[in-house]
Amino acid sequence: MKLLVASDLHGSAPSCEAVLNAFAREQADVLVLLGDLLYHGPRNPLPEGYDPKRCYERLNAFSGRVLCVRGNCDAAIDAAVLDFPLSAESLLFQLGGRTVFATHGDLWNEEHPPRLLPGDILLTGHFHISACTEHPSFVYMNPGSPALPKDEGHRGYLLLTEEEAVWKELSGTVYRRYRLG
């Protein structure tokens, strides 16, 4: 199983389109979205190509292959226009014998983690900074933000399989790898 993980699109149509192009190019099975999809939020600048309507129209075309959690900037109206659920604060799923706890990051995060077993994955967005940190009881991963990155300009996503996690720029260039094993 190959997951493409993205977060914090914040209504940027070019970033949304680039993530969906990467999803097709990478031949991923599932698109995992970690919230803050359509609205830019009161503390963020307007991202390039801000067009929430275009974003939800494009995302809805992939609705049967999307897992999504709600972010702190997502509202009831966002859930009303999307063809996939946007109400869960977190999702739990298995990947290669590990539990993945996927959440936006405003409630559960690296500094305030849920209970996990060694080797399990805490997957968040929210901070707009790509990350991979090993902790004694979990591995923390964040794909960063393709729309409003705060780390070295990385505009990208995370590919997650049973064997590894790979952070890529929207162009497909790899800038970090983490071996799961």
pLDDT in tens, 124-177: 999 999 999 999 999 999 999 999 999 777 999 999 999 999 999 999 999 999
Question: CB neighbours of 173 closer than 8 A, spacing ≥ 6?
Answer: none
Class of domain 3-179: alpha beta
pTM for the full predicted model: 0.97
CA-to-CA distance for 44 and 61, rounded, in angstroms? Answer: 27
Range name among 6-15, 65-74, 106-115, 150-159 with the lowest pLDDT average? 150-159
pLDDT value for 181: 76
pLDDT value for 163: 97
Domain boundaries defined on the chain: 3-179
pLDDT in tens, 32-73: 999 999 999 999 999 999 999 999 999 999 999 999 999 999
